Structure 1
């Protein structure tokens, strides 16, 4: 399920390159999730974790899914970014220290687009 705005726009999307990279990772780790990093150790990268290795917090917000994989963001970070659509892409470089893209010489990257006018709407917190 993908959560959308008032105008039907998904809150998180992925480029074809990101979806292909995610498929590659899922060959080694079939059950994964994303969490948008809040800027600590690894900047503000989208982090990809085995589902069993990451505990979704009570205040985390599920923005939607990319490639069938759930995508979360912390509630406090959602408050800052709620007026944007996150666009997950892939670029050359090293992934986050604990993210499954690390060591693959490519990494996920978040780009964004501001919603216009009435596109954005409140999104309730998603309980795991």
Structure 2
């Protein structure tokens, strides 16, 4: 049986930042909207702070070592239609992203990298 490739994964650096943010803010979620500016970057929020609906797709429930509950990763349906053939890799890079994402005060931002997956 072929092992399923995860739709979303975290780099070790992103997982470490998630652990720190979880310790400070409680359960977390990601949403990637595909909008302008930082909208195409994954935004990290306290779980439930960003309201998802029918225009969003739940891509993953990420298990992060040291974090009790999974961290959900949502994407707007319109962006998912464009990225559905990829595996998303959430990384951390220096610099400030959106003021709405929890990592903004840390001087870093989450960034999505992608790899094409076989259909």
The answer, yes or no, to whether TM exceeds 0.5 is yes
RMSD across aligned positions (CA)? 1.5
Of 101-110 and 34-43, the range deviating more from structure 2: 34-43
The 3 A distance-change label for structure 1 pair 78 and 7 is farther
* Residue aligned with 1:38, SS: coil
Alignment gaps of 5+ in structure 1: 1-5, 119-128
**Mapping 1:9-88, distance limit 5 Å:** 9-66=5-62, 67=64, 68-88=70-90
- Following superposition, which runs of at least 4 residues in structure 1 exceed 3 angstroms of deviation? none
* Residue aligned with 1:55, SS: coil
Report the count of equivalent residues. 112
* Residue aligned with 1:53, SS: coil
Alignment gaps of 5+ in structure 2: 65-69
Q: Which has more helix, going by share of residues?
A: 2
